[in-house]
Amino acid sequence: MVCGICIRKSPATPAAKFGTRGSGLCKKCLTDVEISSPIQKRTAKLISKYEKQIEELTSQCNIKSDECSMAWSLVESTNQELDRLKMELHQKLVQTDNFEQVLDTQTDQLRKVSQNYENDKKLWAAAISNLESKIKAMKQEQALLSLEAHDCAHAIPDLSKMIEAVRALVAQCDDLKMKYHEEMAKRKKLHNIVQETKGNIRVFCRCRPLSKVETSSGYKCVVDFDGANDGDIGIINGGTAKKTFKFDRVYTPKDDQAEVYADASPLVTSVLDGYNVCIFAYGQTGTGKTFTMEGTERNRGVNYRTLEELFKIAEERKDTVTYNISVSVLEVYNEQIRDLLATSPSSKKLEIKQAGEGSHHVPGIVEAKVEDINEVWDVLQTGSNSRAVGSNNVNEHSSRSHCMLCIMVRAKNLINGDCTRSKLWLVDLAGSERLAKTDAQGDRLKEAQNINRSLSALGDVISALASRSSHIPYRNSKLTHLLQDSLGGDSKALMFVQISPSDNDVSETLSSLNFASRVRGIELGPAKKQVDTAELQKVKQMLERSKQEAKLKEESLRKLEENCQNLESKAKGKEQLYKNLQDKVKELESQLDSKMHSQITSEKQQSQLSGKLKEKEEAYSGVGA
């Protein structure tokens, strides 16, 4: 619209720029518009002028639109061409990566081939040098064999003298063995005589110091140690009355564990010589029996020191005797045997069986084999921690069972082949108690009754041994039944009697000392070795073998002459062997030539691979360009 007035659509009539005079046609709606003033005329002229400009601009706009559409289509075709070029570039890059991977692979292969070549070259060089050294060694060996053959040929006249010298040495060796056996028998006989003069059951008395509780309660010491060096000990009972007892050794409260064990040491040697031994601590509860036998980690007791001594002596004798040592720890609690080394409790009841003449064992008991002293303490602690303890009016941690450490020693003499099997019992007896004093009830009462009953059975056995009764009541208690093979006439025993110095326990102290004084000096009869019956057959076989060996020695001496004669034939055989080795060397040289030929072939292959690699590099460089 131009004038802003015409809103009606013009009829379909021929268009005219101007109508009648003084009027004009609207170009938009073809309406006859009257022109009445000069201004309107000027406006009409301007309108027509502008209309022409508009038409020109419109035509120019259409031309420009056509140009833009052509340019846009050109841009789209250019973009398509660009995408196509990008795709081709991507494909070229992928091909380049593939070429690089192939190049890397072939480079690695070439490197491996080079390395294999170098390794093979070194191996071949080492093989050649090794063959040369072997050839030299064979030549030297052949020369030595030739010399030996000539020496043997010259030594044949002196062979008879050598045979006589060997026979003289054999006779001298047999004589020395007989003398050694005689000296060993004399030594053991003298040792047994000394032990028997002291009594096969020896009794030592040890008194503990006053405890802090006893000192704070005002108790006094009633033990007199004036004659302790002579084995005498006095007990002041009721004012000035003093009762004296005699023992093999008396230890005061100032004596330490090492001094206590020193006098028991000879019995340890007896065990290694094949004798059964029993060492036990006896006394009322709270007198220090467990401390004497077990001790602490910083202050070892008899058990640990005994095993330490055993290993020490076994190490000293290792050139003539071999020892196998095993340990079992058990307790007799309420007349029942309990294995303290068992890892898990068993419902099976442990019973004592007779293994052989005068020998007893408990089937199913754990036997811990110990190789050295470092393993001993852990085994002893395991057994001690499993022991039954309880509390009463006398001792807060009273042992409620007899703890028994059994050390089994199997020995074999490397000189004469003798085998022995011996046993050492280290027994920490439960403390004797007076029920009125401990006021035990319930389980404690039952335990105390069984303890006193087994200790009474031990006293009955010792009394029967002292009176040389035809019947010894070993089976009245599990304790004495277990100790039967170590308390009989073929064994030795040692008792540590523990007493309290307090005037509060005078009656108990006197009871223990009276029992111990009856035990001291009992003669059990001559002790004798416990021969390992299982080895008797082996000993007989060894004797037969020795006889056969003696015959074989004579035959071997006869064969010496034949061997000397055969040496020359062997030398000839060595020469033949040398010739065969030379042939083998030639064969190896031919193999070496073939190896060299294969090496040349591998070098050619390597050069071919290098050429291929260069071609691939050139192709790769062309692709990159």
Residue 608: its pLDDT value, please? 78
Q: Is 287 annotated as a binding residue?
A: yes
Q: Say if residue 290 carries a ligand binding annotation.
A: yes
Asked if 405 contacts 381 with a C-beta cutoff of 8 angstroms, the reply is no
Decide if 21 contacts 34 (C-beta within 8 A).
no
Q: Any binding-site annotation on 285?
A: yes
Phi and psi at residue 319, to the nearest 5°: -75, -25
Residue with tokens 């307090």: 502
400's CB contacts (< 8 A; 6+ apart) are 333, 388, 389, 390, 430, 444, 447, 451
Is 215 annotated in some ligand binding site? Answer: no
Mean pLDDT across the stretch 297-301?
Answer: 88
Say whether 417 counts as a known binding-site residue: no
pLDDT in tens, 440-491: 566 778 888 888 888 888 888 888 877 778 888 988 999 988 888 887 666 7
Residue with tokens 């007076």: 434
Which residues, in sequence order, are CB contacts of 73 under 8 Å at separation 6+?
none
Residue 301 annotated in ligand binding: no
CA atoms within 13 A on the CB side of 566: 5
On whether the pTM is more than 0.75, the answer is: no
Identify the CA nearest to 104 among candidates 463, 617, 455, 625. Answer: 617
3-state helix, strand, coil in the chain (%, to 5): 60, 15, 25
DSSP string computed for 234-298: EEE-STT-EEEEE-SEEE-TT--HHHHHHTTHHHHHHHHTT-EEEEEEE-BTTSSHHHHHTB-SS
Confidence of residue 187 (pLDDT cuts 50, 70, 90): low
Q: Sort strands 402-413 and 419-428 into parallel, antiparallel or unpaired.
A: antiparallel
More confident residue, 95 or 566: 95
Which pair of structure tokens corresponds to residue 150?
């000539």
Q: Is the pLDDT of residue 18 over 50?
A: no
pLDDT digits (tens, 9 = 90+) for 311-364: 999 999 888 889 999 999 999 988 889 888 888 777 678 888 877 656 778 888
Per DSSP, 37 falls in state: S
Supply 94's token pair: 């992928």
* pLDDT confidence bin for 426, thresholds 50/70/90: very high
Quick check: 5 pLDDT over 60? no
| 20 labelled binding-site residue | no
pLDDT confidence tier of residue 509, bands split at 50, 70 and 90: confident
Cβ distance 482 to 360 under 8 Å? yes
96 among annotated binding-site residues:
no
The pLDDT of residue 526 is 43
Instruction: Give tens-digit pLDDT for 34-79.
Output: 555 788 788 888 888 888 889 889 999 999 998 898 989 899 889 9
Strand 249-251 and strand 359-361: the pairing is unpaired
Q: What is the mean pLDDT of residues 214-238?
A: 87
**What is the DSSP code (8-state) at residue 531?**
B
Locate 68 and state its tokens. 């833009």
pLDDT band at 407 (very low <50, low <70, confident <90, very high): very high
417: left (phi over 0), alpha (psi -120 to 50) or beta: left
Count Cα atoms within 13 angstroms, Cβ side, for 291.
Answer: 18
The confidence score (pLDDT) of residue 14 equals: 44
- For residue 586, list its beta bridge partners: none
